[in-house]
């Protein structure tokens, strides 16, 4: 049986990152999304280890046992990608494959763009890579979707974290297992006078891929430090746009794979699907867009066997 072990690794920036790891061999970093932790990769850690890889899932900056600084500006995309590169080197490696889900996917895509010398290959789950736009992110979102769009709701201080921390088990039950109130093609707009969790129905029962024990683990990871630092990732949208000006129109060149669920709200709209068809120039090394039938947003937890098969196939295809 393959076991998952835990330890802390100090990065070059002085951040002590908690990592879960398994196996030995070429390094594969697994970057979780919002609001998650290393535990989101519990099925991949052992599968990748058994396939001959050193699988490492950190609690990223601001999350879980890693924690992080209080200042909002310490959660820019340059800090997040810097943590990834620093972790690769702290683990004694020069190169790695970087895999990210949800918010971890933009971190993985940006790491591949900024440091292709370090990234052997990149995999995004749920969230495809997006080109840098001509204007600040929140300006564009506000014009397109209005102030009630959930990412703009997250810009407010204090209110979103208080909502999410009010009843943490309920927060995870709704986010992971609740169905969308507004439907598959509707943008996630927070109702007037309501909160982010109002976008999701309370599930009458958990799906077969999620247990009460899983909910308890996620709850325990967030009880000590809450949601403020994870929300700071959203509060850097405009700062990220400013900081990445030097890479405007840059391409993502390492070998790449995108895995998405057919029922994932991130890619379910016709506009989003049309954007996927235009990735070839932006990501010239894209090998495949792997669609998972009957799969929602929590890709690697909902369909671990399919995700593991896709990851191992991609990893085995890479040159040293």
Q: Does the N-terminal peptide bond of residue 122 adopt cis geometry, omega within 30 degrees of 0?
A: no
The residues annotated as belonging to the active site are 102, 297
Q: DSSP for the chain, please give it.
A: ----EEEEEE-TTS-EEEEEEE--SSEEEEE--TT--GGGGHHHHHHHHHTT-EEEEE--TTSTTT---S-GGGGSHHHHHHHHHHHHHHTT-S-EEEEEETTHHHHHHHHHHH-TTTEEEEEEES----PPPSS-HHHHHHHHH-TTBHHHHTTSSSHHHHHHHTTHHHHHHHHHHPPBSS-TTS--BPPTT--GGGGBPPPSS--TT--HHHHHHHHHHHTTT-SHHHHHTGGGHHHHHHHTGGGTT----S-EEEEEETT-TTT-SHHHHHHHTTHHHHSTTEEEEEEETT--S-HHHHSHHHHHHHHHHHHHHS--
In the numeric block, the tokens 């001509």 are attached to 134
Which residues, in sequence order, are CB contacts of 240 under 8 Å at separation 6+?
Answer: 76, 77, 137
How many residues does this entry show for the chain?
320
Ramachandran region, residue 292 (left: φ > 0; alpha: ψ -120 to 50; beta: rest): beta
Contact of 264 with 301, CB cutoff 8 Å: no
């Amino acid at each position: 049986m393959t076991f998952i072990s835990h330890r802390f690794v100090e990065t070059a920036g002085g951040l002590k990152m908690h990592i879960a790891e398994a196996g030995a061999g070429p390094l594969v970093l697994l970057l979780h999304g919002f609001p998650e932790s290393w535990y989101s990769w519990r099925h991949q850690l052992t599968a990748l280890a058994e396939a001959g890889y050193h699988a490492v899932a950190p609690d990223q900056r601001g999350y879980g046992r890693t924690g992080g600084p209080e200042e909002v500006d310490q959660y820019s995309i340059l800090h997040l990608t810097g943590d990834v590169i620093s972790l690769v080197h702290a683990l004694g490696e020069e190169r790695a494959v970087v895999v990210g889900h949800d918010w971890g996917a933009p971190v993985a895509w940006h790491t591949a763009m900024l440091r292709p010398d370090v990234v052997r290959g990149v995999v995004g789950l749920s969230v495809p890579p997006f080109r840098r736009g001509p204007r600040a992110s929140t300006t564009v979102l506000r014009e397109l979707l209005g102030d009630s769009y959930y990412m703009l709701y997250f810009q407010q201080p204090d209110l979103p974290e208080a909502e999410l921390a009010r009843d943490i088990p309920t927060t995870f039950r709704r986010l992971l297992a609740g169905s969308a109130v507004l439907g598959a093609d509707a943008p996630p707009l927070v109702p007037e006078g309501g909160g982010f969790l109002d976008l999701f129905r309370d599930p009458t029962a958990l799906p077969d891929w999620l247990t009460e024990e899983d909910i308890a683990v996620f709850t325990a990871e967030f009880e000590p430090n809450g949601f403020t630092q994870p929300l700071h990732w959203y509060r850097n949208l405009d700062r990220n746009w400013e900081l990445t000006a030097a890479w405007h129109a840059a391409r993502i060149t390492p070998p790449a794979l995108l895995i998405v669920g057919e029922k994932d709200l991130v890619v379910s709209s016709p506009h989003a699907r049309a954007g996927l068809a235009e990735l070839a120039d932006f990501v010239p090394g894209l090998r495949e867009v792997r669609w998972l039938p009957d799969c929602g947003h929590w890709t690697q937890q909902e369909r671990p066997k399919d995700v593991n098969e896709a990851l191992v196939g991609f990893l085995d295809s890479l040159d040293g």
